[in-house]
Amino acid sequence: MEIFEDMQVDFSLSEVRKKIRLEDPDRLQEIMGNRMQNLIDKVLPGILPRAVYRAGFLDSKEDAGVVVDGIGFQSTFLRKTLEDVGRVFPFVITIGTQLEEEITQADDLIDRFLLEKIGDLALDQARLQLQDYLKKRYGFNRLSSMCPGGYGDWPVQERKKIFSVIGDVQQNLGVRLHENFRLDPQKSISGLYFPTEVSILSCQLCPRQACLYRKAAYNGKKTKEHQDLVRNPIQTLIKETKQNKKFREVELLLLWA
């Protein structure tokens, strides 16, 4: 299990406005006044995203599922999606409990609605930051993700297997999986990252020798050099986020609309 904590969330009033599809400044002022900005200022310092993940491998591919590090996942959709994939990264991400406490304590329905949307934006920023980190650390050009309960015939019950592959998620991250497969805190997400393009670099950084998809030999020296480059990834992520702000705003809207 790997723990990733080098994440921080930061978004503007305009991003929350777009999330709730209320982009007219005059109309926003009429309905909300300064309420939205006040809520952002209040809760943003208490949003502390963290993640755990495991660098796993596909042991085998069955007719209606795949086996990851000895644990079978049942889904024909997942099986087809991972047809040309040899490595996967089970993950769990959370933004903590403070925002959830604010939502619970809020008496005003509009405030609760806005806090929910702020939480959605924060969780997605954390997801993108972990994704960028994994791309850099393991040398992938692109990563995609799937979550149990959200894709095809991959049921939400398979969250339990995600937790099993990773390890003691509750102890290391504070995220609990209930008997009904609900995540607690609620602003959490679990799933699999997997490469959609396998680069030569990613093969050179991977120590597993018995891999059908290997395109280059493992290179320990290159692995060390690459790890040095990503030793302090958050500054790079923040810089890239600012440079690609427009792209990320569009991606957030498409993912969470």
Q: By mean pLDDT, which of 2-6, 82-86, 128-132, 199-203 is the weakest?
A: 199-203
pLDDT at position 22 is 61
Query: Which tens digits make up the pLDDT trace of 73-97?
Result: 999 888 888 888 889 999 999 999 9
pLDDT, mean over the chain: 79
pLDDT at position 113 is 85
Assess whether pLDDT exceeds 70 at residue 69: yes
Query: Which tens digits make up the pLDDT trace of 180-199?
Result: 999 999 999 999 999 986 54
Q: Give the residue-averaged pLDDT of 18-38.
A: 67
Q: Residue 149 belongs to a domain with what CATH number?
A: 3.40.109.40
Most confidently modeled range among 2-11, 208-217, 240-249: 2-11
Bigger pLDDT: 130 vs 244: 130
Q: How far is CA 243 from CA 13, 90, 237, in A?
A: 18, 29, 10
Q: pTM of the entire structure? A: 0.73
How many structural domains does the chain have? 1
Query: Which tens digits make up the pLDDT trace of 96-125?
Result: 999 899 999 988 888 888 889 889 989 989
pLDDT at position 23 is 58
Domain assignment of residue 114, given as a range? 2-256
Bigger pLDDT: 3 vs 254: 3
Number of C-beta neighbours around residue 215 at 10 A: 12
